[in-house]
Chains A and B, each alone.
Chain A
Amino acid sequence: MHGAPQLVLLLVVLSDLAVLGTTRLSSCIRIVAAQGMLLGLLPLLLAPQLSVHTVSLAAGTVVVKAIVLPWFLMWAIREAAVRREVEPLVGFIASQLLGAVAVALAFAIASRLPLPVVQHALLVPVSLATLMIGFIVLTTRRKALTQVVGYLILENGIYLFGLTHAERVPFLIEIGVLLDIFVGVFIMGIVVFHINREFDSLDATRLRELAD
C-alpha cells in the first residue's frame, strides 16, 4: 500500500520533467493526460477505505483531466495546426535544469512546512514541485497552447495539495474546482483558436499588439 502511491507520485514528478523537455505539443498534451490519469489513481490508493466520495473524485478527475481536456486540446492544435513549441523564452536544457532546481526547492520547502502529518510523505513536496514546474511552463513558453498546458500542470499541483485534505474538503468544492478548470481551459481554447485565426500565429507575446 505504501509502495504504489510512492511510485505514482514519482511518475508525476517525472512527467513534470518530461513536459519541460518536450518540444512537440501533442506529446506535451499526452504527458499531461497521463499525469491526469495518475492523479485520478491517487485518491483510490491513498484512501484508507473506498467511499463514494473517493471513487467519484477519482472518476471525475480521470474523466476531466485525462480524457476531456486533453481531447479538447488535441482538437485545438489540430484546428490551429500548431505542432511544436519553437524558440521558448528559456531553452529546453535550461528549463530542464530549472525544473530540477524547482524539484530540489520543493523538497527543501516541504520538509520545513509546518504541516500536520499527511497520508504520504511525498505528497506535499510533489505537489509543490508540480506547482512550480507548471509555473515554469506557464512563464517560459511562447505558444498560448503550451501555456494552457502549464496552467493545467499548475492546477494539478493544487489538486495534489488538496489531496492532503481530501477527507475534509467537501465534495461539492472538488466538483466546483474541476468545473472551474474545465470552463477555464475551454475558454482559453476558444481564445487560442481565435488568436490563431486573427494573427496566424500562437505566439502569446504578440498579444501585446492588442493593447493598441
Chain B
Amino acid sequence: MTLFAISMALLVLGGVAAIARSRHPASGERWFRLLFGAGCVIGAVPALAVLGGASVPEARLASTGPFGAWVFGLDPLSAVFLLAILTVGAACGFYGIASLAHERGHRAVGAAHLLLALLVAALALVVAARAAMPFLIAWEGMAVLAYLLVVFEHERAAVRRAGMIYLVATHTGTLLLFALFAVWAAGSGDLTFAALAAHPPFSAGRGGTIVALALVAFGLKAGIVPFHFWLPEAHAAAPAHVSALMSGVVIKTGIYGLLRAVALFGPPPPWWGWLVLALGAASAVLGVVWALAQHDIKRLLAFHSVENIGIILLGLGAGALGMAYGHPLIAVLGFAGAALHTLNHALFKSLLFLGAGSVIHATGTRDIERLGGLARRMPMTAATFLVGSAAIVGLPPLNGFVSEWVVYQALLRGGSASDAMQLAVVGAAVLALVGALALACFVKVVGVLYLGSPRDAGAVAAREPVRGMIRPLVGLAAACVAIGLLPIVVVPPVLRVGSVVAGPGSGTVLPGDAGAGAATLFSVALVASLVVAWTLRRAFGRRQPALAGPTWACGYALPSTRMAYTASSFAAPLLGAFRSVAGVRTDRTASRFATHAIDPVLDRVILPAWRGVRAAATGLRAIHRGGLSRYLVYVVAAVVTVLLYLLAAAGTP
C-alpha cells in the first residue's frame, strides 16, 4: 500500500503543479505530465502484482470519529479496476494537456488538469476503500469533481442543463448509498467492510432491501436502463478527455460497487440475479438501438456505454445466478467476464471518445452527417478509431472479443445446469443480437465519419491533430490489440477476480484457464491466416499494375458527395424494425430524409416527473409568505400535532 499512497500523492502533486505555475502554463503542464504520469505508473505496480497473485497488506488508519476505522486495501477485484482507472486516467490526462493547449488564454486550463488529477485519485480511493466512510467520501468527491469537469464549457446552456441532470442523478445515488450502509450496519457502529461482511444481511432478514438498494444506487452511477438518463447528456456535454474518463471509468465504479457488494453479502437471492440479467439485457439492447438513432458522435458513444454496461451486467447476472443456484464455475466465469469487460470497455471506449474528440477538434462539428472521408486526412486517428470500433463490436482478435467470450461461456454453461439456471442460456442470444446491432452501428460511424468522401467544408479542411493527441490513442489501441492477442495472459488474473467475488472456495473449480490457452492459439491462427491471405493477394497482384479511377456510380456520370449514403439512411431499416422502442422522429420530405433521436426515458418519464416535483414545490411556496404571525401559527400547530400524537401513542397500550 506504500506504493499506492505514493501514487496518490504524486497524482495530487501533479494537479497542484499544473495550477501553481499558472503564469507559465507550459512549464506547469510539463510538471503535471511528469508527476501525474509517474503517479499512474507507480500506482499500477501494486495493481499488477495483486492480479499476478501477490497479496498486499491492508493499510489501517485508526478511527478518529464514529463509524470505525478507515481501511484501505487492494485485492484482485480492486486491482483490475485500479488498473483501468490509471491506464485510462493517464491517457486522458495526457490527451487533455494537448487538446486544451489552445484554450490556455481564455479558460482555467490548469484548474481542469487539477480537477482531472483529483478525479483520478478519488476514483482510485473508491476502489481501494475497505470501509464505508472513506468509500462514501471518495464517492462523493468523485461525483463533485466529475460535475465540475462536465461543466467546463459552462457558458453553453446545454452543458449547464446536462450538469444539473447529472448532479441530481448522482446525488440521488449517493443518498441511496447512505441508506444502504445505514440499513446494513443496523446501528452496530462499525462500518468497515470486514465488519459488514461479518453480519451478512440475509441472516437478519434485511437482505431484500439491501440488494435492491445496492442495485438502484450503483445502477444510477453505472447508467443501467432505466437509470441511464443522465449519462448521454453529461458525456456529450463534457470535453472529450473528460467524456472518455467518465464513460471509461467513472461509470464503472457502479459496477465495482455491485461486484464488491456481492462479494460482501454472499450468495444473493435468485430473483436478484434474474433482475440483474434482465436489466442487463434491457440496457444492452436499448442502449445499442438508441445509439443507432444518434447522429451526434458523442451521444452515440455515450449510448454505447449503456449497451456495454448491459453486457457487463449480463456477466454479473450470470455470476449472481451461479452463486444463487450453487454453480461456482458459472459464478466465477460470470464475474470474471464482467470484470474483464469492464477493463476492456474502459480501454476502447476512452479510445473512441478521444478519437471523436480529435475529429471534433479538427472539424468543429459533432454531427456525423456533416463529416466523411476523414481517413485520408487523419490516418492515425482513423486507424486507431477503427481498432476501437472493431474491439467494441467484439470482433476477434481484439480485447472485446475475449471478454464477451468469457461472458458467453458463463451463459452457455448455464445450459448444462439441471435447475432454473438453464434459462440463462437465452441470454447468449441477447448478447448475439447486441453484438450484431453494435456492428451495424459502428459500420455506420466509421463508414460515415472516416470513409467515403467529405460531406462538408469542415471535413475537407480537417487535418491530423498534434502528436500529443495521437499518442494516447495509439497506446490505448495497442492495449486493445495486446489483450486480444493474449487471452492466456489476461484471463487467469480475471478468473482470480471472479473467485474473489464468488466467495471462498470458488477458485478451485476452474478447469485450468477456462480455454484461454486455446483462445490464444486461435488469435494467433487468425493473425497467421491474415498474413497468408495477404501474401496470396500480393502474389496475384504482381501481374498487372493497379489503376485508379472514380467510384462506379452504376452508370451515373456526375456523382456528388451529396449523394453519399447518410447515417440516417443507413440506420433507417434497423430503426424501422425496432421503432416501438427506438424513440426516433423521422423527418421525410421529397428530397430529404433525416431522423432525430429522443430519449424515451428522459423525455417521457424523468423530465415530466421533475416538472411535477417542481410544480409541487411551487405549490408549497404558497404557505411560505414571510409574515411572522403566520410562522408562529405553524409552530403552534406543529407542537399541538406532536402532542396529540404522543397522547394517542400513550393511549394505545
| Closest chain B CB from A98 CB (angstroms) | 12
Say yes or no for B580: interface residue by CB 8 A criterion.
Answer: yes
**A-B residue pairs in contact (CB < 8 Å), sample of 3:** A91-B580, A93-B577, A94-B580
Residues of A within 8 A of B577 (CB): 93
Inter-chain CA distance A94–B576, complex, in Å, is 12
Say how far A101's CB is from chain B's closest CB, in angstroms: 11
Residue of A at shortest CB range from B580? Answer: A94
**In chain A, what residue has the closest Cβ to B579?**
A91
Complex Cα gap A143–B577 (Å): 23
Roughly how many angstroms separate A156 CA and B577 CA in the complex, as a whole number? 32
> Bound state CA distance, A149 and B577, in angstroms?
26
Number of interface residues of B (CB under 8 A): 2
A93 vs B580: C-alpha distance when bound (angstroms): 11
Which positions 48-96 of chain A face chain B at CB distance < 8 Å? 91, 93-94
Expressed in whole angstroms, the Cα–Cα distance for A91 and B577 within the complex equals 10
A94: chain B residues within 8 A (beta carbon) = 580
Nearest residue, chain B, Cβ from A94:
B580
Chain B residues within 8 Å of A91, by CB: 580
Q: In the docked arrangement, what's the CA distance between A154 and B580, Å?
A: 28
Of residues 556 through 585 on chain B, the ones whose CB sits less than 8 Å from some CB of chain A are 577, 580
Q: Which residues of B contact A93 (CB under 8 A)?
A: 577
Give chain A nearest CB distance to B580 CB in angstroms: 7
Residue of chain B at shortest CB distance from A93: B577
- Least Cβ–Cβ distance between A64 and chain B, in angstroms: 39
Whole-angstrom CA separation of A94 from B577 in the bound complex: 10
Q: How long is the Cα–Cα vector from A25 to B580 in the complex, in angstroms?
A: 25
Cβ contacts A89-122/B at 8 Å (1 or 0 each): 0010110000000000000000000000000000
CA distance A94 to B580 in the complex (A): 10
Interface of B, helix, strand, loop or mixed by DSSP? helix
Chain A residues lying within 8 Å of B580, measured Cβ to Cβ, are: 91, 94
In the bound complex, CA of A93 to CA of B577 (Å): 8
* Chain B residue nearest to A91 in the complex (CB): B580
Encode A195-209 as 1/0 by CB contact (under 8 A) with B. Answer: 000000000000000
CA distance A94 to B579 in the complex (A): 11
- Report the Cα distance A91→B578, complex, angstroms: 11
B186-205 toward A: CB 8 Å interface, digit per residue (1/0)? 00000000000000000000
Shortest CB-to-CB span from B419 to chain A, Å, is 14
Query: In whole Å, how far is B69's beta carbon from the nearest beta carbon of chain A?
Result: 50
A-B pairs, 3 with minimum CB distance: A93-B577, A94-B580, A91-B580
Whole-angstrom distance between the alpha carbons of A77 and B76 in the complex? 69
- In the bound complex, how far is the Cα of B182 from the Cα of A39, in angstroms? 62
- A158–B580 CA distance with the chains assembled, in angstroms: 33
A90 closest partner in B (C-beta): B580
Q: Provide the bound-state CA to CA distance between A4 and B192, in Å.
A: 65
CA–CA, A91 and B579, complex, Å = 10
Residue of B nearest to A108 (CB): B423
Smallest CB separation, A118 vs chain B (Å): 24
Bound Cα distance from A93 to B576, whole angstroms: 12
**B411 CB, min distance to chain A CBs, angstroms:** 17
Whole-angstrom CA separation of A104 from B580 in the bound complex: 23
Residue of A nearest to B577 (CB): A93
Nearest CB of B to A90, in Å: 9
* Shortest distance from the beta carbon of B581 to any chain A beta carbon, whole Å: 11
Q: How far apart are A106's CB and chain B's nearest CB, in angstroms? A: 15
CA distance A91 to B580 in the complex (A): 10
Within 616-635 of B, Cβ neighbours of A (below 8 Å) are at none
Minimum CB–CB distance from B604 to chain A (whole Å) comes to 20
The minimal Cβ–Cβ distance linking A88 to chain B, given in whole angstroms, is 13
| Per-position binary interface string of chain B over residues 575-597, scored 1 when its CB falls under 8 Å from any chain A CB and 0 otherwise | 00100100000000000000000
A103 shortest CB reach to chain B, Å: 13
Q: Mark A119-150, 1 if CB is under 8 A from B, else 0.
A: 00000000000000000000000000000000
How long is the Cα–Cα vector from A91 to B576 in the complex, in angstroms? Answer: 11
Q: How far is the CA of A35 from the CA of B577 in the complex (A)?
A: 30
Cα distance A91–B581 in the bound complex, in angstroms: 13
* A112 CA / B634 CA spacing, docked (Å): 60
Interface residue ranges of B34-93 to A (CB < 8 Å): none
Nearest-Cβ distance from residue B309 to partner chain A, whole angstroms: 24
A108 to B357, CA, bound (A): 51
For the complex formed, measure the closest distance between the CB of A200 and the CB atoms of chain B, giving whole angstroms: 29
Docked Cα-Cα span, A186 to B70, in Å, equals 81
CB distance from B127 to the nearest CB of A (A): 40
| 627-652 of chain B: CB within 8 A of chain A | none
Give CA–CA (A94, B578) in the complex, Å.
10
Closest beta carbon of chain A to B289's beta carbon, Å: 14
Rounded to whole Å, the gap between the CB of B338 and the closest CB of chain A is 27
Residue of A nearest to B426 (CB): A104
Q: In the docked arrangement, what's the CA distance between A153 and B48, Å?
A: 63
Measured in the bound complex, the distance between the Cα atoms of B18 and A189 in whole Å is: 83
Complexed CA–CA distance, A67 and B580 (Å):
39
Distance to closest chain B CB from A94 (angstroms): 7
* Bound-complex Cα distance A163 to B331 (A): 45
